[in-house]
Chains A and B, each alone.
Chain A
Amino acid sequence: MANISIKNVTKSFGAVKVIKGVDLEIKSGEFMVFVGPSGCGKSTMLRLIAGLEDITSGTIAFEGKVVNALAPSDRGIAMVFQSYALYPHMTVYQNMAFGIKLGGATKEEVEKRVRIAAEMLQLTPYLDRLPKQLSGGQRQRVAIGRAIVRDPKVFLFDEPLSNLDAALRVATRLEIAKLHHSMNNVTMIYVTHDQVEAMTLADRICVLRDGYIEQVGTPLELYEKPNNLFVAGFIGSPKMNFLNGKFAAPYKANSIGVRSEHLEFVAKGGWPGKVIHAEKMGSDTYSFVDLGMTEPAIIRETGTSRHGVDAKVSLAPMKDKVHRFAVDGKSI
């Protein structure tokens, strides 16, 4: 149980400024996801919280106590690395026991904690195996198990699913969500570049770009009320349709954005265009409509579409579902 308070934190590597002044309050027991494109500083933020990197300026406090000068092992954290970072020459059991054994726990205590974590992650049959004898998903579970046995106040995940295949990613995502429910006092911070992971796991999402926070909020807040063009474009799949010029003028904005599910085909009026491609997903159909902009607009229909490729169609946004943006990209 720990709330984390980040105040005006910056981080430079030599002359390169990576984090340019971040303020953030993470509540105790919260699942916070840092999301953003590569190079936005999200992993650096996590490493600053972990203590694996030194803070250039500003403070990070756990429960009101500044931890800037505290070693990672003294912060009450556990971390799951992207590459798992398992000790290759130790068995699954040894990997999980190593840290706490050296931390002074008794043999029975170590044994008990490892058994409980292994049970929780269905790793019991593999305790005597070496990491190289495990699949990617099992290795990731060992890494999570090693973190659990430390009984941390703060759980840090650095892109833990990015080395897994798509099916395993969904399954492990569920495991992590369940883990969060079962350890509801533990604060979790999770870094990803995948906005689907962010949307599905987070209590709150922190969108980072270029060393700054763009917006912090619950997944639905970000989805429904993005602060600016960047967040609007980054959250949601497929990407929000952006239109400007004559499309935006009637809405008294520099540009407007409409999500694919908020566009509909209309008989008359609306924006005229031509269907150039259709992706049939079974449950939905995504039609790509050329409206004369550089990018085609994407419209989602449930089930199959009435309109084939090359059909002349007319699109209109649903009422109150248009996002308006000013010249500087901010939402109006």
Chain B
Amino acid sequence: MSSVPENGTPIRNELFAGRVRSAWLFLTPMIVTLLIVAAWPLSRSIWFSFSDASLGHFRDAQFYGIKNYFKTITMDSGAIHHFGVLVDPAWWNAVYNTFRFGIVSVTLETVLGLAVALVLNANFKGRGFVRAAILIPWAIPTVVSAKIWGWMLNDQLGIFNDILLRLHIISEKIAWTADSNYSMFTIVMVDTWKTLPFMALLILAGLQQIPGDVYEAAEVDGVHPLSVFWNITLPLVRPALMVAVIFRMLDALRIFDLVYILTPNSSQTKTMAVISRENMFDFDKLGYGSAESTVLFLILLITVIAYIKIGRVNLEGNN
């Protein structure tokens, strides 16, 4: 940018004006699209959360203040009751479930994904085929794979129980999706199966950025392979790893489809997105569900900002 003088104001000339015009030309389609598919629904949702909207009347919904979030009712008897999302135990249980799921599954996926990526980064015959094949779980639509797993995990007819029984690992059939002791484990397991390939490939891309001669220098230096991993591979793949974790964390904290199909109506697994949909459509409380969606949005925003700050993640792409 040689046309930017010391004080930072660009020199205004024909060339500069032309560049500004073409920048707007290229940006406009994306801005319009974002306004339509992101800004508009998001702002509608926030508006509904401050209204008494229901499925029957949302066009003429009335402003309702913060009552969906918090309201106090004094009974005739003099007892005071609090209502609203912010004091709703079901909501906070969903928040707890979501974070429990998110932290456990993302940690598991990161560790296993790194291991798989390290294997895929090694030189072996048929590597290209394995790299393509490992993507299959991720390529299957979640609804489909959730249904497949649902059948495999079925307590009476599922192959999962059958195998474990034959191997004498369990002594009686387990209701993997219905039993509250196992439902969260089941969700984490299926989610890990599904998203491990995505994680592995993102990390693999990071591993491939590490120049091979650095490893040769370490070999000449006589560095132990474990030390090479901790002191060279891990620090160098860290930027890619951090970005991969953000992607997965964002995805995990708004998980819906897997829970909705595998373990519907289990308070052990009900997540923020599931409970908010339930309020909006099953209980016809569009305003209340929207309030939950809005809080979900804020929680995601805060989580990601905190993560970027604490992890000093570089999203700019420069050094």
Contacts and interface: CB of A to CB of B under 8 A. Distances in A.
Main secondary structure of the interface of B (DSSP, over half): helix
Which of B211, B221, B232 counts the most A-chain CB atoms under 10 A from its CB?
A: B221
Contact of A85 (B213, B222, B235, B236): B213
A285 interface: no
Interface in B100-144: none
B214 interface: yes
Interface in A80-110: 81-83, 85-89, 98-99, 102-103
Nearest to B212: A85
Interface residues of A, number: 24
Contacts of B214: 85-88
Contact of B223 (A82, A83, A102, A146): A102
A89 B224 CA distance: 18
A83 B211 contact: yes
A71 interface: yes
Interface in B227-279: 227, 231-232, 235-236
B9 interface: no
Contacts of A52: 216, 219-220
A72 B235 contact: no
B319 interface: yes
Given A88-B214, A88-B236, A73 B220 contact: yes
A85 B214 CA distance: 5
B220 A77 contact: yes
A82 to B, nearest CB: 8
Contact of B221 (A73, A88, A89, A132): A73
Contacts of A132: 319
Given A71-B222, A73-B221, A79-B220, A89 B211 contact: no
A320 interface: no
A270 B224 CA distance: 68
Nearest to A100: B221
Contact of B222 (A72, A81, A89): A72
Contacts of B219: 52, 71-73
Contacts of B220: 50, 52, 72-73, 77-79, 99
Nearest to B319: A132
A323 interface: no
Contacts of A103: 221-222
Nearest to B238: A89
A119 to B, nearest CB: 21
Given A81-B217, A85-B216, A103-B221, 16 more contacts: A50-B220, A52-B216, A52-B219, A52-B220, A71-B219, A73-B221, A78-B220, A79-B216, A81-B213, A87-B214, A89-B236, A98-B221, A98-B231, A99-B218, A146-B217, A150-B221
23 contacts: A71-B219, A72-B219, A72-B220, A73-B221, A77-B220, A79-B217, A81-B213, A81-B217, A82-B213, A83-B213, A85-B211, A85-B214, A87-B217, A87-B232, A88-B214, A89-B236, A98-B223, A99-B220, A99-B223, A102-B223, A102-B224, A146-B217, A150-B221
Interface of B: 211, 213-214, 216-224, 227, 231-232, 235-236, 319
